[in-house]
Amino acid sequence: MPVLGFTDILARLTAQKLGDSLKQPVVVDNRPGANGTVVGDATAKAPPDGYTLMLVPDTVMVVNQFVYPRLPYNPETDLQSVAFLGGWRCCWRTGCRAGCRTAA
């Protein structure tokens, strides 16, 4: 999604609330490109410390594996959904190696 697109705005709004809850800053690093493949790859390869999250519509993770035959990550095994946002099928995801199962 482009900077200041719907996903970017949603990420910035929820990051601010998350930062308030955690009592530490949360930085939004918008990485558009290839229908979420760029951010998916960065998130899957990030250190498994739980500090890297991505926000994408869940349809992107489902569709990309069929549209792009050479994804640099496996959306089923390399990424884990940890929180869904509202009625729009969008969720925060982290790399599976982080060991997170929920945002709690």
Model confidence pLDDT, tens digit, residues 19-30: 999 999 999 999
- Domains and their CATH numbers in the chain: 6-98 (3.40.190.150)
Cβ neighbours for 25, distance < 8 A, ≥ 6 positions apart: 19
The pLDDT score that the predictor gives to residue 1 is 47
Cβ neighbours for 14, distance < 8 A, ≥ 6 positions apart: 55, 85, 92
Q: Quick check: pTM over 0.95?
A: no
Cβ neighbours for 46, distance < 8 A, ≥ 6 positions apart: 52, 95
Per mean pLDDT, which of 17-31, 71-85, 87-101 is the most reliable?
Answer: 17-31
Rounded to an integer, what distance in angstroms lies between the CA atom of residue 89 and that of residue 78? 19
Stretch 81-85: mean pLDDT: 79
pLDDT in tens, 47-64: 988 889 888 887 778 888
